[in-house]
Structure 1
Amino acid sequence: MSRSELDLSVSVRKATSPDETAPKRKHVRSCIVYSWDHKSSGAFWQALKVQPLLSDEVQTFKALICIHKVLQEGHPNCLRDAQAQVSWIDSLGRSCIGDGLRGYGVLIREYSTFLLSKLKFHRQHPEFNGMLEYEEYVTLKATVDPNEGYGI
C-alpha cells in the first residue's frame, strides 16, 4: 500500500468514526483531493469497505455523507466508478431495520435511496457533473473548444 493510499485509509477511518458528529471537512477533503490526484475513486471505495460500517448506524450515515461529497466534488471518474458500487450502497440502506438502535435507520435508508437516484440520473445524463451544474453544461454544450466556453 502506497503512502497516499495509507493516508486515504486514515482519512476514511477518521471521517467515518463512530462519534456522533459530522465528518470533519478536512478528512472528506482528503478523499476528494485523492480522487483528483489519481483520477479514480477505487482506493476510496476499498478504504470504505474495510471499515466496520454496518456495526454502527452513525458510521454508516457518515459513510453516506462522505460518498455524497466525493460524488459531488471528486474527479468526474468518481461518478463512473460509483456505478459499480450501486449494490453495496443499496446494502448500506438495507442494513438498518426500523428506526435502528440509535434512530438513524430512516435517515440511512433515505440517504442511500437518494444516492442511488443520483447515480441513476448520472448514468442517464453523463453530461452533468457531480454538482449538477446546469449553467456550465448549457454554456459548454454548443462549443467545440472547451476554452471558448470559459472565455480563455
Structure 2
Amino acid sequence: AASDVYKRQRYDWTLVAEEPLLVALPDTHPLAGRAAIDFADLLDEPFLALPESTGPLRDYWLALDARGGRPPRIGAEIASTEETYEALAAGLGVCLVAEGNVPLLTLGGVTARPVHGVTPSRYVLAWRREDGDRTLVRAYAEACRRVTAQE
C-alpha cells in the first residue's frame, strides 16, 4: 500500500497495449465446453502459480483482486511456459493467460476460454520520473503513445 504510492511517485508510464485474459484449462475440464467462463466459477479451482518470490506478479496472475479476499488454491507452482503447459495437460490446475500468449499453451490437450470478471492484461512502458527530461526517454515514450493512438 504505502510502497505502491511511493512507486507511483517515482515512476511515470504510458499504456502500450491491453489484452483480455483467458483461462487455460485441460480439454477434459468440465468448464472447457463453455464459450466463456465467469471468474466466480473458478474460485474453487486449483490454479497454477508462479513462485512466491515473484510477489505482485504471482498475485496478478492468481487474480487476487477479483477474489474478494478468498485465498487461491494452488495446484502446482510453475516457472516457465513449458512447465505451465505440462501442468495444464496433466490436469494439475488452470491458469489465466493474456490473449497473445494463448497459442503457447493451447497445444494438444489444453484449451483457453474467455474469462469475465478479471482485469485485462496491460502492458506499459515505465520510466523513473527523474529520467523524464532525458531526450531519449521522452522520445521513446512519445513514439509509444503515437503508435498506440493509431491502433
Greater C-alpha Rg: 2
Higher relative contact order (CA 8 A, sep 6+): 2
TM range (shorter): under 0.3
Task: State TM-score, norm by structure 2.
Answer: 0.22
More strand by percentage: 2
Higher helix share: 1
